Each structure stands twice: as C-alpha cells, then as structure tokens.
C-alpha cells in the first residue's frame, strides 16, 4: 500500500537555499500542513533561521494525503483558512459553502507561494528521530531523504542541529490498517487503497468496490463514487448519524457580506467553543416544547452541517443523555425516510448516542437506494479474511471485489508520534512514555522532560476548527520562543529552555480528562479517545472546554509569567483549572 503516492500535479521539488551541509538552525518545523506552514511563516518573520521538512512530496499535510473522491472540509469555506492576512482573506476565492480537498490544497499552495516559503522547505524528508543534547542545549534531528529511493539511488541521511524543534505532525495523520487476516499479507489480487494515503491514479469507475468504514472519510467516499462504480459494498460495523452538508455556491452578495463582516466573524470564532462560525446555542433541549424542538431540528436538518445540528440548536445535546436520545430518534426517522429498503435502513441506522465527531454528507443515505449499492452488516457477521478475490465475512459469504477502500481512520493525535523517536532528557522516548503513562501534554504544546520541543496542536489542545486552533497554538509557541530568547539575552547566561513542569502537565491533562468525562463523547468509543486502535490507552486526547476558554487559558499563562513552565522562563506554578485573571 503506497504511503505517499506521487501525483503528476505535484510541483517540481525544490530545496532550501542553504547549502546541504548547513543543517545548524534556530528551529526546525516538522510537517507542512496548516500548522507547519504557519509555524514556518511565524518563525521566519521573527528572523529565526528555520526550515520545514515533510515526508510528502508537497505541502498540505492531511489535505495532501487524503486525496480520495469526495474529500471536503465541513467548516464554512471562508473560515477554513488563516485569519492573519486580511487581504488574502478578502481576495482569495470562496466559491461554495465548503471547500473540497483540491481547493484546500490549492489554497495552502497559494499561501506558501505568497510568502515565498518553499525556499525554506524540504520535501520527501523523513524525521526518523530526535535527541536532546543536554550539553549543547540543542536537538539533534536525524532525517532521511527518501527522494532518491524511486530512482533506486541510496537514500541520504543527515542531521539537523536546532535549538527549537517544532512538531506540526497533524492531528489525523497515521492511517489505521485493520487487523484482518490476509490484508497485511497482501493476498488480495485487486487494489487496496487507504483514504488517508490515497493514490490519485486510482480509478474506481466501472469497478467492483468495497469500502470498510463509515466515519467522515467513508461517508464522503461512498457518496462520491456510488454513481460510477459497477458495484459497491459498504462494510458497516457501527453506523454513524450523518446530516446533509447542504453545499451550494456562495453568491457575490454573500461573499461581499462575509468580507465586510470578517473582523466580527473572527472575533466570534475565537471566543466560541468550536470556532466554526455558526452561533452556538445556549438553549437547553428539554426547556423547549416538543413542537418547538421538532421545528428547530427540522430547520437545522434543512440548513445542513452535522456540527451545526449538534451545537447550533441546543446547548446540551452532548451532555444531557435524554436530550441526546431524543435527537437520535429524530435522526433515525430521517434515515428511515430516505432509505427505501427497511433491511438496508437497519444496517445504516445507529443505535448508540449521537456523540462521535458529527458527520456531514452530500446525499450519503440516498446512495443505498441504488440497486448496485449494498450495506453489509459486519457487526452481525464480522469480516473474517481478505482473500484473493475479495472479503469473506463470518456467515461464509465472499464479496468479490476489484478494489478495496480502507476508510478505517487514523491513529490520531499522539498516534502521529508513533513513527518518530523523540528522546528528551534522560533519553526518555516521547511516544513510549505516552504509551506507558498516558498522553500528558501541557496546553497541547509542551511536555515535561522535553525542553524546546514545541508541539503544534499536540494532545490536549482544544477540539475546534483547525485553522483558528492552529493560529492560536502557533502564536503561543512563537511568543514562548520570543520570551525564551529575551530571557537568555537578559540573563546573559545559558540558553533559556522552554519546558513544562511535571505538575503543570499533570494538572492540565487531568483537567482535559475531567472536562471530557462531563460529555457524552467520552461514552462513545472513537479516535478522540484512542478507542479505534487496539492496545491504546482509553483517555481523552483533546480539550473539550472550547476554543474560547482554551485561548483564555493560554492568555492567562502568558500574563502570569508563563506559569507552568520551568524557571527562568516561567513561574513554575500550576495553572488552576478554573482560575481567572
């Protein structure tokens, strides 16, 4: 299965203008998705000698690797972008309500070109490991240049020596390959492709296709390909609720209104919980009459977007089990109204609470009314093997396929660190430590024992719209670096290190867990809690308190002299969970 398939549309490879042997820098950014691009830009603006590397052949991160048909962001297009450049916000196209994967990738390439960032970037470069050198107070980052592998030449190995290591590895990066006998052994004679490592050359038209998984990726790919394939079998273990996205072009009048409102829109986004740009309701579900609840839910269904349905009509759907159950009944009625065959509808209808990452679709349920599209219940009859001709299920049926699509998700958040070996003080390995003791992380950006390692949206960052979350995180770590540099200049002694205290890291991680436990999300096993990866510790990897409160915490940490970071940078105290300035 290809990890990073080549795309003829990838731009020609460039390398940083620094000589090859000059790998002694102020900072290295690992990853060139939304987070890495902005981190590189912010640090370069500050005059740091910085480069960014990426395993892929181009920028984009998630939006480069997830090039499957139907991939779409479910945030309003005009808010699924950076806010730091007012002119770009205003002038860059927002053709429709949502952005497709090619549009997001094009946007990111445009930003990179606009700020001439490619000259600081090196692609097809894998960070294999990094080790903190206590003597020099620098990270030694071992890298492998994989660009020559395709030509059969020897891969290059080299080391960056940097003061700051900024990991922008992405929240959803590492694909999960299910443990189905025969899959990894490669016995299937057809093609296997994972949505998170999609080969753009893959053609599904006229093929007998099987899709495993019906999270966001599965729902999107199924909806996009159903019309053109010869047959489609969708293997469904735990169906999820999906709400129409209701995509449509934005009119010039709407675009003009958005442009005029941008400052206020971003202020609302930054103060809100989700940062999605819709008004989040403060109305409790059971405080509203049954007739009004139905009317509100109908309006939300028609207006579209799963996140908006979950948070835009009522404030307590993710905390009040009775309210949630009532909305589940509403959503099940909607599925029954669309899907003609009751047996198929049963396979597609969830019985669990509406408490996973909400999905949005472009007509998912209706695809199952096509005679050649089948919902296969693999909860009752699990998949037992991948065979030469296709998939075998426990009832003995063999589903013959030409192409098998794995829409089986990600080893999310801390999972992005599984393939890199980052050794901090005492040679402790970051991912090994997280597996041993849980994914503790202070404010999603710093880990005790790992000085000057700055994570962008690492574990325990807020669950929110990615671009404003990314900007929040990057600006915080940029300010940390500025403070560390200023402290070094002021003391005139050893370089000031940025390092979370164990107590602050523990307190923030416990606060994240306690916040998550108050929500129904904690009861529905999903990637957000590590439940989709066998052997992973079941715990929250996100802060469910909201982007606004998260930003307030970061502001408080800064205002209180970097509380929770070690001296001499910080005051080494512990940020109280409910403290206010």
The footprint of ligand NA7 (CB under 6 A) covers 172, 178, 180, 195, 212-218, 235, 237-238, 357, 378, 383, 407-410, 527, 532
User: Residue 344 or residue 532: which is nearer to ligand NA7 going by CB?
Assistant: 532
Determine the 3-state secondary structure of 515 from DSSP.
helix
What span, in angstroms and rounded, lies between the C-alpha atoms of 553 and 567?
19
User: Residue 142 or residue 357: which is nearer to ligand NA7 going by CB?
Assistant: 357
What span, in angstroms and rounded, lies between the C-alpha atoms of 222 and 365?
10
The distance of closest approach from Cβ of residue 339 to ligand NA7 in the complex, given in angstroms and rounded to an integer, is 18
CB atoms within 10 A of CB 455: 30
Whether the CB-CB separation of 361 and 172 falls below 8 Å is answered with no
User: Residue 123 or residue 311: which is nearer to ligand NA7 going by CB?
Assistant: 311
Residue facing ligand NA7 at closest CB distance: 215
Question: To which residue do tokens 């606004």 refer?
Answer: 548
User: Residue 452 or residue 532: which is nearer to ligand NA7 going by CB?
Assistant: 532
The distance of closest approach from Cβ of residue 66 to ligand NA7 in the complex, given in angstroms and rounded to an integer, is 8
Q: φ and ψ at 384, to 5 degrees?
A: -105, -25
Q: φ and ψ at 22, to 5 degrees?
A: -90, 85
The distance of closest approach from Cβ of residue 272 to ligand NA7 in the complex, given in angstroms and rounded to an integer, is 18
What span, in angstroms and rounded, lies between the C-alpha atoms of 451 and 447?
8
User: Residue 519 or residue 571: which is nearer to ligand NA7 going by CB?
Assistant: 519
Per DSSP bridges, beta strands 50-53 and 24-30 are parallel
The distance of closest approach from Cβ of residue 385 to ligand NA7 in the complex, given in angstroms and rounded to an integer, is 12
What span, in angstroms and rounded, lies between the C-alpha atoms of 555 and 568?
19
The distance of closest approach from Cβ of residue 8 to ligand NA7 in the complex, given in angstroms and rounded to an integer, is 25
The encoded tokens of residue 410 equal 């990600």
Q: Which own/partner contact pairs does 332-338 have at CB distance under 8 Å and 24+ positions apart?
A: 334/301, 334/365, 335/241, 335/365, 338/365, 338/366, 338/369
User: Residue 367 or residue 488: which is nearer to ligand NA7 going by CB?
Assistant: 367
What span, in angstroms and rounded, lies between the C-alpha atoms of 89 and 368?
39
> If DSSP states are collapsed to H, E and C, what string results for 294-331?
HHHHHHHHHHCCHHHHHHCCCCCCCCCHHHHHHHHHHH
Q: Exposed/middle/buried for 308, CB within 10 Å: 0-12, 13-18, 19+? A: buried
Handedness of CA 292, 297, 302, 303 (dihedral sign): positive
What span, in angstroms and rounded, lies between the C-alpha atoms of 417 and 15?
25
The distance of closest approach from Cβ of residue 258 to ligand NA7 in the complex, given in angstroms and rounded to an integer, is 24
The distance of closest approach from Cβ of residue 425 to ligand NA7 in the complex, given in angstroms and rounded to an integer, is 34
Smallest CA-to-CA distance from 506 within 568, 575, 556, 571 is with 575
User: Residue 173 or residue 293: which is nearer to ligand NA7 going by CB?
Assistant: 173
User: Residue 44 or residue 383: which is nearer to ligand NA7 going by CB?
Assistant: 383
565's CB contacts (< 8 A; 6+ apart) are 442, 446, 480, 498, 499, 500, 501, 504, 557, 571, 572
The distance of closest approach from Cβ of residue 509 to ligand NA7 in the complex, given in angstroms and rounded to an integer, is 22
Cα 189 vs. chain centroid, distance in angstroms?
A: 32
The distance of closest approach from Cβ of residue 176 to ligand NA7 in the complex, given in angstroms and rounded to an integer, is 7
The distance of closest approach from Cβ of residue 261 to ligand NA7 in the complex, given in angstroms and rounded to an integer, is 26
Whether the CB-CB separation of 474 and 42 falls below 8 Å is answered with yes
The distance of closest approach from Cβ of residue 237 to ligand NA7 in the complex, given in angstroms and rounded to an integer, is 3
User: Residue 180 or residue 440: which is nearer to ligand NA7 going by CB?
Assistant: 180
Q: Exposed/middle/buried for 427, CB within 10 Å: 0-12, 13-18, 19+? A: exposed
The distance of closest approach from Cβ of residue 22 to ligand NA7 in the complex, given in angstroms and rounded to an integer, is 38
Handedness of CA 531, 278, 76, 310 (dihedral sign): positive
The distance of closest approach from Cβ of residue 220 to ligand NA7 in the complex, given in angstroms and rounded to an integer, is 8
User: Residue 378 or residue 440: which is nearer to ligand NA7 going by CB?
Assistant: 378
User: Residue 393 or residue 452: which is nearer to ligand NA7 going by CB?
Assistant: 393
User: Residue 29 or residue 219: which is nearer to ligand NA7 going by CB?
Assistant: 219
User: Residue 409 or residue 451: which is nearer to ligand NA7 going by CB?
Assistant: 409
The encoded tokens of residue 567 equal 């001296």
């Amino acid at each position: 299965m290809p990890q990073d398939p080549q795309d003829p549309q990838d731009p020609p490879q460039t390398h940083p203008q620094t000589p090859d042997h000059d790998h002694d820098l102020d900072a290295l950014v690992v990853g060139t998705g939304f987070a890495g691009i902005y981190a590189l830009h912010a640090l370069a603006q500050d005059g740091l000698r910085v480069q960014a590397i990426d395993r892929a052949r181009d920028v984009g991160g998630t939006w480069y690797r997830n090039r499957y048909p139907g991939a779409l962001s479910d945030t309003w297009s005009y808010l699924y972008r950076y806010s730091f450049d007012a002119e770009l916000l205003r002038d860059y196209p927002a053709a429709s309500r949502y952005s497709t994967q090619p549009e997001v990738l094009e946007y990111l390439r445009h930003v990179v070109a606009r700020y001439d960032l490619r000259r600081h970037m090196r692609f097809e470069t894998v960070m294999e490991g990094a080790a903190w050198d206590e003597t020099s107070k620098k990270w030694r980052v071992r890298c492998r240049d994989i660009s020559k592998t395709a030509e059969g030449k020897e891969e290059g190995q080299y080391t960056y020596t940097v003061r700051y290591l900024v990991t922008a590895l992405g929240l959803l990066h590492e694909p999960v390959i299910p443990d189905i006998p025969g899959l990894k052994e490669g016995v299937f004679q057809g093609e296997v492709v994972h949505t998170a490592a999609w080969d753009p050359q893959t053609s599904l038209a006229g093929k007998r296709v099987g899709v495993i998984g019906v999270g966001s990726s599965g729902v999107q790919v199924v909806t996009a390909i159903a019309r053109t394939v010869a047959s489609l079998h969708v293997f469904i273990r735990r169906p999820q609720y999906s709400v129409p996205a209701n995509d449509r072009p934005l009119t010039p009048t709407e675009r003009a209104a958005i442009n005029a409102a941008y400052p206020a829109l971003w202020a609302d986004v930054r103060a809100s919980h989700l940062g999605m740009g819709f008004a989040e309701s403060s109305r409790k579900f059971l405080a509203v009459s049954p007739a009004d609840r139905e009317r509100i839910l109908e309006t939300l269904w028609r207006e579209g977007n799963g996140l908006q349905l979950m948070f835009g009509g009522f404030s307590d759907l993710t905390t009040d089990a009775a309210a949630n159950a009532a909305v589940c009944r509403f959503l099940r009625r909607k599925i029954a109204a669309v899907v003609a065959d009751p047996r198929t509808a049963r396979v597609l209808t969830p019985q669990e609470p509406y408490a996973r990452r909400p999905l949005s679709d472009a007509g998912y349920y209706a695809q199952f009314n096509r005679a050649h599209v089948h919902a296969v219940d693999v909860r009752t009859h699990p998949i037992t093997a991948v065979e030469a001709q296709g998939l075998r299920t426990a009832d003995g049926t063999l589903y013959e396929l030409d192409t098998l699509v794995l829409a089986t998700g990600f080893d999310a958040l801390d999972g992005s660190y599984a393939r890199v070996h980052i050794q901090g003080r005492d040679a402790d390995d970051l991912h090994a430590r997280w597996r041993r003791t849980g994914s503790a992380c202070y404010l999603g950006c710093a880990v005790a024992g790992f000085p000057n390692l700055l994570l962008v949206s690492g574990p325990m960052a807020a669950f929110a719209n990615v671009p404003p979350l990314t900007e929040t995180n990057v600006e915080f770590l940029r300010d940390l670096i500025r403070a560390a540099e200023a402290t070094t200049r002021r003391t005139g002694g050893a370089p000031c290190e940025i390092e979370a205290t164990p107590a602050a890291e523990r307190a923030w991680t416990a606060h994240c867990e306690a916040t998550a436990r108050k929500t129904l999300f904690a009861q529905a096993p999903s990637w957000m809690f590590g439940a989709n990866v066998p052997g992973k510790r079941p715990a929250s990897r996100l802060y469910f308190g909201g982007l606004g409160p998260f930003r307030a915490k970061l502001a408080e940490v800064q205002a209180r002299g970097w509380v929770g970071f070690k001296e001499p940078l910080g005051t080494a105290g512990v940020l109280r969970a409910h403290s206010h300035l």
